[in-house]
Amino acid sequence: MESVGSEPNGTSTAVKVLVAGGPRTDTPALVDSVSEIPLLHVEEFFVVGGVADVASVGVDLGRITISPELLLYLFGTSTEDRSWFLWDELFAGALGAIVLADTRALDDSAAAVDFFRGRGIPFVVGVDCSEGTRLPEVDEVRAALGLGPNVPVRLCHASRRESTKQLLIALVESLMAAAREQSAITANR
């Protein structure tokens, strides 16, 4: 899925992929690793419970030009409690999602899994394998996040372009398999 680096021409179709993870995951690095434009980070600060308690919510945006007619936009943010209001807006029209999990705290990404599963958004899980961490078994990841066999799980390095491309390819392959399955069900009715 190489981007050709062309600029949108006004007749392009845009598709959206969401990127989410627990508090320890580096979703901005994942988006930035494949984006052909500089990572756009939008952050809003707000006061919680008083002047001294300031919090922020951020969204990261990246773009990949698949062809002059097809643009892929990646939207990433955390699944911390203060960010949930964004997800209800961001998931509308999403093609699918990548859930990024940290090897040191797999269950921190369970909220993202539950969000996408609950809204019927296809997703893949990328387990970010930081240097020096123990690599988990796929079955361990599935158990920690309550994943069925139909959800692709891949070990990855969020900041490496090739690794992120492989996650996107796994998502597309999963979407294609689901479309074939749905087509077969429809044809048999």
Average pLDDT for residues 43-59, to the nearest whole number?
Answer: 58
pLDDT, tens digit, 9 for 90 and up, residues 63-113 = 999 999 999 999 988 766 556 667 778 888 899 999 999 988 898 899 899
Side chain identity, residue 34? V
Q: What is the token pair recorded at 184? A: 């077969």
Cα-Cα end-to-end distance for the chain? 35
Using the predicted structure, report yes or no on whether residue 188 has a pLDDT greater than 50: yes
3-class SS at 31? helix
Question: How far apart, in Å, are the Cα atoms of 133 and each of 54, 89, 157?
Answer: 33, 35, 12
Is the pLDDT higher at 153 or at 52? 153
Question: Helix %, strand %, coil % for the chain, to 5?
Answer: 35, 30, 35
- Model-level pTM? 0.83
Task: Indicate the domain borders of the chain.
Answer: 13-187
pLDDT, tens digit, 9 for 90 and up, residues 113-152 = 999 999 999 999 999 987 777 788 899 999 999 999 999 9
CA distance 100 to 98: 6
13-187 falls under which CATH superfamily? Answer: P-loop containing nucleotide triphosphate hydrolases (3.40.50.300)
For position 42, what pLDDT does the model report? 73
